[in-house]
Structure 1
Amino acid sequence: MSIQSEIDDLWQRYQDDALSVTTAGSEELATLDAFLEALEGGEVRAAEQTGGSGPDGWEVNEWVKRGILLNFGLRETEGREHGDVTYYDVLPLRETADLGERGTRNTPDGTVIRRGAYLGRDCIMMSPSFVNVGAHVGDGTLVDSCDTVGSCAQIGENVKLGANTLIGGVLEPVEDAPVIVEDDVSLGAGCRVTSGFHVGENTVVGENTLLSPRIPVYDLVEEEVLYGHLPANRRAFTRYVESSIGDHDLFAGGAFKPAVVALDIEEETLDKTRREEALRE
């Protein structure tokens, strides 16, 4: 049986109440361990790029998200040791001996990688930072200080996550797409990308920008308003636009709501990003 068919079988038994945390034995836990190893090795992913750039070019692997949920549903919470700290979780932290072999660095005192997370070659994790189960971080990507990469998030190659950036996790519903940040994206410090938002390749996002499906993206290149997606090759930043509630008597001076404005990326912006990359090499 393939790992997918084994996870599908466990999921069906779990849904039928024929399997639980009290009845899961060594065979079931061995399947879950093999599944986590496949995630850490990049052999399976919560979502995969099957076509071109953009949301339509990605496919969600629902069975992978079910496998992650099974790890929470079929394992006991245990006390675990990390340095001088005892913490309680269903999963241990990821082993990191393989990272050095691939040129990936995680600085001491606060880089936390949970089991089932994948980091590619030549990545940098600055402390403190956290990568959750099911996340996939591509080659050459920088996870800066105070960054969080949520469960199942898909981060491309040569991405820069500025300091204090939050990449949200999407584990349930299993059919929903996770946050996807494609190759060669630069997110400024303090950005938030949540609720399955999709960032197209080769895009530069200004600091403190919130990218969420609930906030409109005014794409001035194609002259359209988008939700949940920032197209490729854009320079994006937050601005405020008039809100319909401004007609209310309480808002005598008008009311405004946040929006994201996307412009065609300029060569000058790309040059600055390339210079930063050169300093890291």
Structure 2
Amino acid sequence: MSALESEITELWGQYQNDDVSADSAGEDAYATLDAFLDSLEAGEIRAAEKHGDAWEANEWVKQGILLNFGLRATEPREYGGVTYNDVLPLADSSDYGDRGSRNTPDGTVVRRGAHIGSDCILMSPAFVNIGAHVGDGTLVDSCDTVGSCAQIGANVKLGANTLIGGVLEPVENAPVIIEDNVSLGAGCRVTSGFVVGENSVVGENTLLTPRIPVYDLVEEEVLYGELPADRRAFTRFVESSISDHDLFEGGAYKPAVVATDLQTETLEATEREDTLRE
């Protein structure tokens, strides 16, 4: 256990036992919280990490985020000539250029405690919440939201108007995970701790949530809460169990996600392209 983890864990216990509050927290407590936010922004600590084949939440990191909400007072702050009220300021983006990253003006908001990697592009208006981790070379397109604690890998493309949900509580639950080299089409929604495996391509307006089944045609199985690596996924509608109901005609259908082999489809597309050029 690192010194920072030990300090956050101790402070969390005091907070849970009502031994410390926003009115009674001293300089040492706020120094710990500031160091915690600096470590999040630097990518030194993360709200979730992969162990073997599974992603697991770092509960103490999520506790540290909650402590920043519980022990800090809401204050009026300025951004773009507008006054807003929050417990935290926005992240300092002055060093983005040194790392090859850029955030366009007029509405790109990165909250304090979010990590933005090198060579990233953040298009306005986009919002990245506290605890989120955005890997190197990733595009966060216009009107995208990256929720609290969401883990976005390297070289990911989040299409315009994409929502990556946040999972802050309960602290033991892993957040939404988008692994390396994933491409999400415009208008996608990923919620409730769903995991999108590396190298996958997801069609526009696809909803990925543990409540909607993923029909994996590669392994011929039905999955919940995950899209395996190297898949091409898109929305389809399958027959519902209430399809024969007196209140409507023509059957009832429910959403589902179909996943096919990305590498096979890519190879076939390349072969078709070559045939057309011959």
Normalising by structure 1, we get a TM-score of 0.93
Please name the residue that 2:134 is paired with: 137
Please name the residue that 1:115 is paired with: 112
Q: How many residues align?
A: 268
1:238 aligns with 2:239: no
- Alignment of structure 1 residues 1-281 onto 2, 5 Å: 2-52=3-53, 56=54, 58-266=55-263, 269=266
Largest Rg, 1 or 2: 2
Please name the residue that 1:276 is paired with: none
Query: Cα–Cα, structure 1 residues 103 and 268, in superposed 2: closer, same or farther, change >3 Å?
Result: farther
SS at match of 2:210: coil
Tell me how far apart the structure 2 counterparts of residues 124 and 270 of structure 1 sit (CA, whole Å).
Answer: 29
Tell me how far apart the structure 1 counterparts of residues 268 and 40 of structure 2 sit (CA, whole Å).
Answer: 35
Post-superposition CA distance 1:72-107 (Å, at most 9, x none): 000000000112100000010000112111100101
* Aligned sequence identity (%): 75
SS at match of 2:243: helix
SS at match of 1:244: coil
Tell me how far apart the structure 2 counterparts of residues 271 and 200 of structure 1 sit (CA, whole Å).
Answer: 22
Query: Cα–Cα, structure 1 residues 247 and 267, in superposed 2: closer, same or farther, change >3 Å?
Result: closer
Cα deviation, residue 271, structure 1: 11
Tell me how far apart the structure 2 counterparts of residues 248 and 20 of structure 1 sit (CA, whole Å).
Answer: 55
In structure 1, stretches of 5+ residues that fail to align are 273-281
Tell me how far apart the structure 2 counterparts of residues 10 and 146 of structure 1 sit (CA, whole Å).
Answer: 36
Post-superposition CA distance 1:164-215 (Å, at most 9, x none): 0000000000000100000000000000000000000000000000000000
Tell me how far apart the structure 1 counterparts of residues 28 and 238 of structure 2 sit (CA, whole Å).
Answer: 57
Which amino acid is 2:4 matched to? I
SS at match of 2:169: coil
Post-superposition CA distance 1:215-270 (Å, at most 9, x none): 00000000000000000000000000000111322233110000000000146648
Normalising by structure 2, we get a TM-score of 0.94
Which amino acid is 2:16 matched to? Q
Cα deviation, residue 51, structure 1: 2.0
Tell me how far apart the structure 2 counterparts of residues 99 and 3 of structure 1 sit (CA, whole Å).
Answer: 25
Tell me how far apart the structure 2 counterparts of residues 109 and 45 of structure 1 sit (CA, whole Å).
Answer: 28
